[in-house]
Structure 1
């Protein structure tokens, strides 16, 4: 049935929009709740994996990964994964003292770079190994 009554048309549109709005709100709320639950679980799992990695590192002098796999039934792949995802302990580097600098302790070479914004500097290379006297330009 065709209607030209503007009030009836508006009522029908609002009815459809109200039902759609309710479904959209419900979907957004559910997604937000599940996303938060996912984030919480991921954080907990990361903590457990860190603990497993630390335990494996601490136990490594006394028991091997293969032995742990045999005794626990946990796969070697899982144990190796947990061991490799553990944050490595950082060792502090000693500062160079004035005495070690005077003693001629070799310092690491510094990187040589071209002037800012100028790019690589072309350098002419010497003769080729075949000795033909050809030269090429090498970018340094």
Structure 2
């Protein structure tokens, strides 16, 4: 395994995806790499809505809890040791959005949780970790996040 300069992790704000953020952050800290925390949204939400996504081309500077009271990925990543952190909100289906963002930020490693990987629906219809592993052209780390 070579040295990584940019590590990308996908999250939906769930507890299991935050475990992936923590693993990615610890790994990025160990490598001295920048950590990009991505949240994919299927569509842009109307202005003023509580779940409004940041513009895809802008980084989000959220540091506290989101509108639902969930701890931000930034805060979790900092606690896990990452120093250089960028949060990005992207529009689109998670797999395509993560693969495109990985190219845009020139990530060498993409970290995702294993949710859906070992389910019947995941095996029949595909899951984010399985589909990302097939489509991304960079190293993938699938983190065990389900208890």
Scaled by the length of structure 1, the TM-score of the pair is 0.17
Higher strand share: 2
TM-score by length of 2: 0.16
Larger radius of gyration: 1
